[in-house]
């Protein structure tokens, strides 16, 4: 028998005998740093009680910066919900060395049967957590827009109170005078509310007279918030109770009213609406409707001057969720743990703003038997096209059997590409290097990536060939270091974005960095000591500038009929400040290219 | 039998002396047709058994013993084997009570062939580990030899020696203490509250897991 501290919450819900069972039934498990304790989609076999250490709950389908959705420390319990659900929705990973007590599933289920309170605790926390998560996802968008800090107090109207004995006629007059559509009714004991709808119903349906007291039509079950609560919470309350206004109370004292229209105009960015829609979509039509709104979201975010990195993160998260949902609608449940859908290219790096072509592939577990594979994959590609992701011109899609394969097939592909080393193979390696799992079992992708690193990171010759592409396009600077100004504009993608992205990608390959976004890779390279922090920051800023210039260009042409997205920026149309910034940024690119050719010996190529 | 197969079978035993090697081989042959034959076969799995024991010596020794299985990730404390071996009728009641209280054992078993056989079955042919294992194996050997007729045949890893070796690698001039609590603190194994012999076994198991990772990291 081991001594476990069972004086904490769920265990206080069971009796002494049950606790004794727990003590006798516990095992001890030891996990190393970064070890995965419970994988996404894995069946829950035990409940873990942390004795020492820290465990993170991760959603591997999200970009690294927002993947962490939960954090557990000593005394916390996890894994119970995975048992109740049948499988784990997220990945649990030890952040430090961890010592956990482990309760087997059978014992946990027995306790649940014997002690309904105990079971209820977990069921409740499940719904609680689901709600928190939706709220977090939803207000993620609001955070980006800088609205996270908006409190109820910033958006409330002063209350219009009348006495309960006032007649309906007076109340209507007061409503008209103050251009409001609701009144608060004060009685000695409680506060009620009258809306225009209530007045109408009272007069027409309930046969009230003009001189009957307002109390007769008021209703007294109010939804209240405090001024310190976030505005978003007020909105959630309104949605939940299907009302259009909530009353603001502070310590029993009336402070004001928040109207739905006020909140909506406050949140005009609508980012939260889109993410809520995605979360709530229960079929493909609803999902498509939500998906179509992302471009307008981008426009709104850009108009508000949101920092590009955050907008990209938000969009990557949204796209990931959309694809994940589409996947779960189409792919039969039994294949979820045996396959991994990955997005590649700019989407894998989480750097596309507008919807780009779908670059995706599928990794199957070795020995997975999936007769309807090609049919399902075609369906998935078609669905994604419906959802607004245009097909990839290079046919890098799951409907193409070349981009579907088992783990060992992928590994042999990698080996082949590495030994061929021609342009096409190098491009495929680069594409695969940016892969990010959005649905299914992310461990499969991890094992492929590990194999990729294993093969490439020490192969100097390959790295040199790989890095060479970064120098392919010249930097649009004149001999004297000023901007070139051709009539048709400079190609910002070739001249600025690509060298940074590809150079950083090469370094990440060399240093075996798992992150896929260029900015995250830069952070990791700086932490690794490969780049100095200042230079890494400069590169990140330069990249952000290029992307922003390009995006502005593309948003302008978005409404026009042209399907071809332009990467050209006409220097003459920029303000002098922007021109200066662009010149500086291109100099950073030039510097970076020099460092690359020094490191990877590209001088004579 | 080819030489290679013989070598394979004994490779885990090469740490022992030639005499124990001979002893093992003769035991293996002698017990080849008994139900215990499988105990002498080499173990190919990943599990080990952590052992701890406390002895009150005397004319009628009282031995409290705990064995707990550990797999690469987990210490299976819920399925541990804990008991006191003594002759319940003739042993000193005070000693029995003390063992029950101090070492948290719940049952008293007579050291006969049945009870020892069940312990041997529990341990199986898995390797044994423990803090200062020699001591535990010595008293287990005593019990086994009188009850079953053979000594403990399993491969053995002394966690204390492992700890000292590992410590000397890191700090060649370090004085090594022989307290398990100090070793746990040294390797930053989080302290669990433990009681009795099962606690000792669990602690040595955790220390073993920790040292294994340490060695894997160095390799």
Q: Which residues of A touch B202 (CB under 8 A)?
A: 2, 28
Confidence (pLDDT) at A526: 92
Is A160 a domain residue?
A: yes
Same domain, A448 and A512: no
Structural domains counted in chain A = 4
Nearest CA in chain A to B187: A97
To the nearest whole Å, the CA of A405 is away from the closest chain B CA by 32
Higher pLDDT, A447 or A393: A447
**Contact at CB, A28 and B206, closer than 8 angstroms:** yes
The answer for residues whose C-beta is within 8 angstroms of residue B215's C-beta and 6 or more apart is: B166
Cβ-based interface (< 8 Å): residues of B facing A: 73-78, 104, 188-190, 192-195, 198-199, 202, 205-206, 209-210, 213
**Contact at CB, B190 and A51, closer than 8 angstroms:** yes
Report DSSP state, residue A496. I
Is A225 a domain residue?
A: yes
Is A381 a domain residue?
A: yes
For the stretch A45-94, pLDDT in tens is 889 988 888 898 888 777 666 677 778 888 888 888 888 888 888 889 99
Nearest CA in chain A to B69: A27
Same domain, A329 and A232: no
Same domain, A321 and A427: yes
Q: Which residue of B188, B190, B194 is in closest CB contact with A2?
A: B194
* Domains contained in chain B, CATH given: 11-30+43-219 (3.30.420.10)
Within an 8 Å CB–CB cutoff, is residue A36 touching chain B? no
Same domain, A482 and A429: no
Confidence (pLDDT) at A508: 92
Same domain, A508 and A475: yes
End-of-domain residue from the set A412, A429, A456: A456
**Contact at CB, B74 and A99, closer than 8 angstroms:** no
- CATH code, domain carrying A53: 2.60.120.10
For the stretch A467-491, pLDDT in tens is 988 888 888 888 777 888 887 888 8
Highest averaged pLDDT of the listed ranges A289-303, A535-549, B13-27: A535-549
Is A177 a domain residue?
A: yes
Within an 8 Å CB–CB cutoff, is residue A136 touching chain B? no
Q: How far apart are CA A124 and CA A118, in angstroms?
A: 10
A-to-B residue pairs, Cβ atoms closer than 8 angstroms: 53
To the nearest whole Å, the CA of A259 is away from the closest chain B CA by 54
User: Cβ(A558)–Cβ(A564) under 8 Å?
Assistant: no
- pLDDT band at residue A560, thresholds of 50, 70 and 90? low
Is the pLDDT reported for residue B13 higher than 60?
A: no
User: Cβ(A306)–Cβ(A276) under 8 Å?
Assistant: no
- CATH code, domain carrying A196: 3.10.580.10
**Structural tokens at position A227:** 């001024």
Nearest CA in chain B to A104: B78
Is A408 a domain residue?
A: yes
Least confident window among A93-107, A436-450, B7-21:
B7-21
User: Cβ(A231)–Cβ(A151) under 8 Å?
Assistant: yes
Q: What is the ipTM of this complex?
A: 0.80
User: Cβ(A278)–Cβ(A288) under 8 Å?
Assistant: no
DSSP β-bridge partners for residue A302:
none
Same domain, A315 and A346: yes
For the stretch A566-601, pLDDT in tens is 778 888 888 878 888 888 899 999 999 999 999 888
Nearest CA in chain B to A22: B78
Confidence (pLDDT) at A121: 79
Cα dihedral sign, A527-A533-A535-A538? positive
Span B40-53, average pLDDT: 88
Please compute Rg for chain A using Cα positions: 29
Same domain, A567 and A447: no
**Structural tokens at position B197:** 């012999």
Confidence (pLDDT) at B50: 93
Higher pLDDT, A107 or A279: A107
Same domain, A40 and A118: yes
Higher pLDDT, A504 or A44: A504
| Token pair 């081989």: residue | B25
| Secondary structure class of B123 (helix, strand, coil) | helix
- CATH code, domain carrying A311: 3.30.460.10
| Secondary structure class of A503 (helix, strand, coil) | helix
Average pLDDT, chain A: 82
Q: Which residue of B78, B189, B206 is in closest CB contact with A25?
A: B78
Query: Between the CA atoms of A403, A408, A413 and A416, what dihedral angle is there, to the nearest 10 degrees?
Result: -170
Same domain, A448 and A326: yes
For the stretch B111-140, pLDDT in tens is 888 888 899 889 988 999 999 888 888 888
Is A1 a domain residue?
A: no
Is A187 a domain residue?
A: yes
Which residues in chain A (38-97) have CB-CB distances under 8 A to chain B?
Answer: 51-53, 97
To the nearest whole Å, the CA of B78 is away from the closest chain A CA by 5
Higher pLDDT, A529 or B193: A529
Is the pLDDT reported for residue A301 higher than 80?
A: no
| Secondary structure class of A31 (helix, strand, coil) | strand
Q: Which residues of B touch A28 (CB under 8 A)?
A: 74-75, 77, 192, 202, 205-206
Is A281 a domain residue?
A: no
Q: Which domain holds residue A568?
A: 469-599
Confidence (pLDDT) at A395: 85
Is the pLDDT reported for residue B157 higher than 50?
A: yes
Is the pLDDT reported for residue A348 higher than 70?
A: yes
Nearest CA in chain A to B68: A27
């Amino acid at each position: 028998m081991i001594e476990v501290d069972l004086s904490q919450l769920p265990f206080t819900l069971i009796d002494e005998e049950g606790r004794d069972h727990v003590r006798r039934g516990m095992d001890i498990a030891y996990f190393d740093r970064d070890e995965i304790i419970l994988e996404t989609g894995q069946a829950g076999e035990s409940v873990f009680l942390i004795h020492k250490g820290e465990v993170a709950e991760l959603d591997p389908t999200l970009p690294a910066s927002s993947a962490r959705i939960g954090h557990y420390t000593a005394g916390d319990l996890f894994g119970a919900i995975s048992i109740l659900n049948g499988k784990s929705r997220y990945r649990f990973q030890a952040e430090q060395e961890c010592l956990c007590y482990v309760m087997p599933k059978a014992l946990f289920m027995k306790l649940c049967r014997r002690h309904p309170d105990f079971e209820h605790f977990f069921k409740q926390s499940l719904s609680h957590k689901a709600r928190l998560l939706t709220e977090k996802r939803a207000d993620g968008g609001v955070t980006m827009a800088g609205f996270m800090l908006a409190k109820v107090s910033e958006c409330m109207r002063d209350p219009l109170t009348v006495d309960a004995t006032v007649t309906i006629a007076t109340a209507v007059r007061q409503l008209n005078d103050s251009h409001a559509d609701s009144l608060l009714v004060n009685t000695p004991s409680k506060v009620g509310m009258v809306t225009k709808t209530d007045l109408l119903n009272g007069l027409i349906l309930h046969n009230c007279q003009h001189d009957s007291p307002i109390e007769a039509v008021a209703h007294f079950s109010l939804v209240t918030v405090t001024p310190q609560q976030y505005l978003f919470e007020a909105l959630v309350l309104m949605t939940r109770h299907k009302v259009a206004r909530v009353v603001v109370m502070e310590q029993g004292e009336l402070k004001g009213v928040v109207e739905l229209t006020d909140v909506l105009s406050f949140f005009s960015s609508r980012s939260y609406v889109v993410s809520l829609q995605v979360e709530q979509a229960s079929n493909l039509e609803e999902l498509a409707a939500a998906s179509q709104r992302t471009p307008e979201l981008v426009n709104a975010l850009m108009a508000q001057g949101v920092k590009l990195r955050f907008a990209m993160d938000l969009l990557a998260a949204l796209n990931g969720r959309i694809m994940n949902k589409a996947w779960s609608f189409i792919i039969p449940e039994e294949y979820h743990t045996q396959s991994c859908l990955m997005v590649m290219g700019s989407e894998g790096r989480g750097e596309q703003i507008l919807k780009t072509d779908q670059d995706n592939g599928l990794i199957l577990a070795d020995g997975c038997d999936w007769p309807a594979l090609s049919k399902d994959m075609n369906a998935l590609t078609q669905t994604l096209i419906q959802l607004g992701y245009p097909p990839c011109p290079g046919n890098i899609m799951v409907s193409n059997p070349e981009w579907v394969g088992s783990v060992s097939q992928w590994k042999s592909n990698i080996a082949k590409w590495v030994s061929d080393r021609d342009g096409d193979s190098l491009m495929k390696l680069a594409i695969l290097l940016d892969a990010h799992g959005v649905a299914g079992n992310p461990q499969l992708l991890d094992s492929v990536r590990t194999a990729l690193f294993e093969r490439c990171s020490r192969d100097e010759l390959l790295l040199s060939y790989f890095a060479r592409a970064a120098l392919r396009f010249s930097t649009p600077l004149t001999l004297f270091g000023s901007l070139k100004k051709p009539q048709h504009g400079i190609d910002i993608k070739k001249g600025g974005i690509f060298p940074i992205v590809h150079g950083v990608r090469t370094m990440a390959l060399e240093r075996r960095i798992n992150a896929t976004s260029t900015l995250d890779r830069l952070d990791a390279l700086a932490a690794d000591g490969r780049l100095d922090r200042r230079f890494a920051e400069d590169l990140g800023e330069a990249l952000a500038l290029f992307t922003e210039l390009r995006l502005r260009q593309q948003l302008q042409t978005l409404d026009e009929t042209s399907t071809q997205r332009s990467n050209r920026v006409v220097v003459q149309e920029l303000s002098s400040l922007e021109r200066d910034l662009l010149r500086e940024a291109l100099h950073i690119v030039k510097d970076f290219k020099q460092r690359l050719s020094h490191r990877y010996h590209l001088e004579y190529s | 039998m080819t030489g290679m197969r013989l070598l394979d079978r004994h490779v885990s035993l090469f740490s022992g002396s030639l005499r124990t090697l001979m002893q093992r081989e003769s035991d293996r042959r002698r017990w080849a047709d008994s139900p215990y034959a499988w105990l002498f076969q080499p173990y190919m799995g990943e599990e080990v058994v952590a052992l701890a024991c406390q002895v009150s010596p005397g004319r009628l020794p009282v031995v409290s013993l705990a064995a707990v299985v550990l797999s690469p990730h987990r210490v299976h404390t819920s399925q541990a084997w804990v008991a006191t071996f003594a002759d319940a009728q003739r042993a000193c009641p005070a000693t029995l009570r003390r063992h029950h209280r101090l070492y948290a054992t719940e049952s008293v078993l007579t050291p006969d062939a049945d009870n020892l056989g069940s312990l041997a079955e529990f341990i199986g042919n898995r390797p044994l580990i423990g803090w200062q294992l020699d001591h535990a194996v010595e008293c287990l050997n005593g019990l086994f030899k009188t009850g079953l007729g053979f000594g403990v045949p399993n491969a053995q890893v002394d966690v204390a020696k492992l700890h000292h070796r590992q410590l000397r690698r890191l700090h060649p001039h370090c004085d090594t203490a022989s307290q398990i609590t100090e070793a746990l603190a040294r390797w930053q194994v989080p302290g669990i509250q433990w009681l009795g012999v099962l606690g000792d076994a669990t602690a040595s198991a955790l220390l073993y897991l920790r040292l294994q990772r340490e060695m894997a990291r160095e390799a």
